[in-house]
């Protein structure tokens, strides 16, 4: 929509240019659903604006299990359509942004009195593979008990019977969201974070715009558009109430918690999908030097702005993990970090959170406000297609604008395929040997080919400090200039994930990060102090310090 960099340093100018444009579709909510709608809308040639109250992907879309998967457990609920749709979407996502969607071998232990026996698991995964169009060479493989223990020796030998290995994909949900938004800006789109909708604008009782409060400046902003879409996840009902105080509530919120432990304490190299003790199943996914475990699935009715992992959540995940991997003997002290998110499920009378469908639903109010809720991370592209298809059908001049996202790369400099990505990681590891290969891989997985720009800046800078410190500065500068960060958590949570997977790095370089952000945004001392308090609180919450102090 404009040629300015995607930076809050140019926020005033970007807002001014945006107001000169005739906006076709205005999207409220900068999670994966809103980002997907923006990408679909922009690539059809529609002028599109996205606004987000906090930071992009700051809600549910940075708190998932970070898998692009079809949902094997939904076969048990006979959700065949959902499994087929999301299963097929895995391959599309991998093809279109392969540096962020990685093939992941998943091991399903078959245990005594488990959710699956050997026959039912084999049948379910065979159906799963076929519905998802998995190539024959990547379809399920059955392992004996001994073969399974050779692969994962930590498993409980007393209950293990055999296992099945099948294919999934791992992603970074927040990075996927920001890349969709960045790619949209190269088409017909603009997006602002830290911009809260406080009211709607109407003409002839039809919604035609929004009134926002810019949370960075305190100023009021107004935007008009032909169509308004709310994709605010757990906040969908809240936006519907602003539009119409008598609107019905459609959401059942479910809290999901993940914990992160060191791979030294939980040394597995293959991803696991295993039985808990209550009929549910949970994941254990290796990532770098860590393993993350989750998720819980409990009804939530508290304050959506103050999500916390509690003792019950921790006890559930630790008990389930120690039951399947007894030699690990994990305790709360072993938890390095955690995250807690909300799933916006569509409520059905008499059903618990774990029984509710993950299907998305679309609601249209009397004023014309379009809301979408539910759904899964994997289904973001199809959810977006349904919304934009609906919108273009309402406008006579747009009816020929068909969806293009099935075969469209989600990056300005995409990799042709996954092999090219792997070769790129190897080449950068040789060229920039100052960093460990795992750190190079983390950069490439996060930023794609822009990783080389970040590393080159670190090498050529004359700033003082170690190469590690120069790399951190370079990432900060890149994200401030091209990824619209402002607060420290924008960078540490959504752009890098260090708060989840390298919290020791956050603690070690906290002062460096704060001082560099102060310089980039010309902060005063009061603002810097406020940010430091906010960051310390986030570290406390993610590291579960408040639980460990009482354990």
Report percent pLDDT > 70 for the chain: 95
Which residue from 550, 551, 490 is spatially nearest to 520, judged by alpha carbons? 490
pLDDT band at 354 (very low <50, low <70, confident <90, very high): low
Tens-place pLDDT, residues 1-33? 567 899 999 999 999 999 888 999 999 999 999
Residue environment code for 375-400, b if the CB has 16+ CB neighbours within 10 A, otherwise e: bbbbbbbbbbbbbbeebbeeeeebee
Give me the residues paired with residue 222 across strands: 211
Task: Determine the Cα–Cα distance for residues 213 and 198; give it in Å rounded to an integer.
Answer: 7
Tens-place pLDDT, residues 43-80? 999 999 999 999 999 999 999 999 998 666 666 666 76
Higher pLDDT, 93 or 250: 93
pLDDT band at 497 (very low <50, low <70, confident <90, very high): very high
pLDDT for position 475: 97
pLDDT band at 158 (very low <50, low <70, confident <90, very high): very high
> In this structure, which CATH number among 2.60.40.10, 3.50.50.60, 2.60.450.10, 3.40.710.10 belongs to the domain 8-60+174-250+357-407?
3.50.50.60
Highest mean pLDDT among 63-72, 310-319, 358-367: 310-319
Give me the residues paired with residue 343 across strands: 254
Mean pLDDT of 123-130: 80
Contact in structure between 41 and 386 (CB atoms under 8 Å): no
Tokens of 408: 């469209």
Mean pLDDT score of the chain, rounded to an integer? 93
Give the domain ranges of the chain: 8-60+174-250+357-407, 101-168+253-355, 418-548
Task: Determine the Cα–Cα distance for residues 182 and 264; give it in Å rounded to an integer.
Answer: 37
Which residue from 36, 42, 162 is spatially nearest to 111, judged by alpha carbons? 162
CATH number of the 101-168+253-355 domain: 3.30.9.10
Tokens of 349: 């009378």
Which residue from 446, 408, 444 is spatially nearest to 428, judged by alpha carbons? 444
Which residue from 85, 23, 45 is spatially nearest to 406, judged by alpha carbons? 85
Tens-place pLDDT, residues 409-458? 998 899 999 999 999 999 999 999 989 999 999 999 999 999 999 999 99
Task: Determine the Cα–Cα distance for residues 541 and 74; give it in Å rounded to an integer.
Answer: 32
pLDDT band at 290 (very low <50, low <70, confident <90, very high): very high
pLDDT for position 550: 82
Tens-place pLDDT, residues 100-117? 999 999 999 999 999 888
Tens-place pLDDT, residues 381-396? 999 999 999 999 999 9
3-class DSSP assignment, residue 105: strand
Omega within 30 of 0 (cis) for the link into 295 = yes
pLDDT for position 71: 67
Task: Determine the Cα–Cα distance for residues 447 and 515; give it in Å rounded to an integer.
Answer: 23
Query: Cβ contacts of residue 306 below 8 Å, gap of 6+?
Result: none
Sort 151 into a burial class: Cβ within 10 Å, 0-12 / 13-18 / 19+. Answer: middle
CATH class given for the domain over 418-548: mainly alpha
Checking if the pLDDT of 223 tops 70, the result is yes
Query: What separation, in Å, do the N-terminal and C-terminal C-alpha atoms of the chain show?
Result: 52
Mean pLDDT of 240-265: 94
- Identify the H or E element spanning 211: strand 206-214
pTM over 0.85: yes
């Amino acid at each position: 929509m404009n040629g300015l960099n995607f930076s809050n340093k140019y926020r005033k100018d970007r807002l001014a240019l945006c107001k000169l444009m005739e906006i076709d579709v205005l999207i409220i909510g900068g999670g994966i659903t809103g980002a997907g709608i923006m990408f679909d809308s922009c690539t059809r040639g529609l002028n599109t604006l996205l606004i987000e109250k906090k930071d992009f992907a700051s809600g549910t879309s940075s708190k998932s299990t970070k898998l692009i998967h079809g949902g094997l457990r939904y076969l048990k609920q006979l959700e065949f359509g959902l499994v087929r749709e999301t299963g097929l979407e895995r391959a599309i996502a991998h093809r279109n942004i392969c540096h962020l969607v990685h093939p992941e071998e998943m091991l399903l232990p078959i245990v005594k009195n488990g959710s699956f026996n050997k026959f039912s698991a084999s049948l379910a995964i065979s159906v799963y593979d076929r519905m998802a169009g998995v190539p024959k060479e990547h379809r399920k493989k059955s392992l004996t008990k001994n073969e399974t223990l050779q692969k994962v020796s930590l498993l409980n030998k007393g209950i293990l019977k055999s296992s099945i290995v099948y294919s999934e994909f791992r992603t970074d949900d927040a990075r996927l969201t920001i890349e969709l938004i960045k790619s949209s800006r190269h088409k017909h789109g603009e997006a602002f974070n830290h911009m809260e909708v406080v009211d709607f604008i109407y003409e002839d009782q039809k919604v035609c715009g929004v009134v926002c409060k810019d949370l960075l400046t305190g100023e009021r902003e107004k935007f008009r558009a032909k169509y308004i879409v709310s994709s605010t996840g757990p906040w969908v009902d809240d936006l519907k109430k602003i539009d119409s105080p008598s609107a019905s509530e459609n959401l059942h919120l479910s809290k999901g918690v993940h914990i992160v432990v060191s791979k030294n304490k939980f040394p597995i190299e293959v991803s696991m999908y295993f039985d808990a003790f209550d009929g549910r199943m949970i994941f254990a996914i290796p990532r770098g030097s860590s393993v993350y475990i989750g998720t819980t699935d409990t009804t939530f009715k508290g304050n959506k702005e103050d999500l916390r992992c509690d003792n019950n959540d921790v006890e559930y995940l630790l008990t389930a993990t120690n039951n399947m991997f007894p030699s690990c003997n994990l305790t709360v002290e072993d938890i390095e970090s955690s995250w807690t998110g909300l799933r916006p499920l569509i409520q059905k009378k008499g059903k618990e959170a774990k029984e509710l469908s993950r299907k998305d639903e679309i609601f249209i109010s009397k004023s014309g406000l379009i809301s979408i809720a539910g759904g899964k991370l994997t289904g973001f592209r199809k959810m977006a297609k349904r919304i934009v298809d609906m919108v273009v059908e309402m406008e006579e001049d747009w009816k020929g604008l068909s969806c293009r996202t099935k075969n469209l790369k989600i990056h300005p400099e995409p990799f042709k395929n996954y092999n090219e990505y792997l070769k790129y990681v190897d080449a950068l590891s040789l060229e920039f040997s100052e960093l460990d290969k795992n750190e190079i891989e983390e950069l490439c997985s996060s930023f794609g080919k822009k990783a080389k720009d970040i590393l080159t800046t670190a090498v050529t800078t004359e700033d003082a400090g170690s190469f590690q410190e120069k790399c951190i500065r370079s990432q900060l500068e890149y994200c401030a200039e091209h990824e619209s960060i402002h607060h420290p958590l924008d960078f540490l949570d959504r752009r890098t994930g260090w708060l989840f997977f390298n919290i020791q790095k956050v603690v070690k370089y906290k002062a460096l990060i704060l001082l560099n952000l102060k310089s980039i945004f010309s902060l005063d001392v009061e603002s810097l102090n406020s940010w430091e308090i906010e960051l310390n609180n986030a570290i406390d919450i993610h590291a579960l310090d408040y639980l460990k102090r009482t354990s």
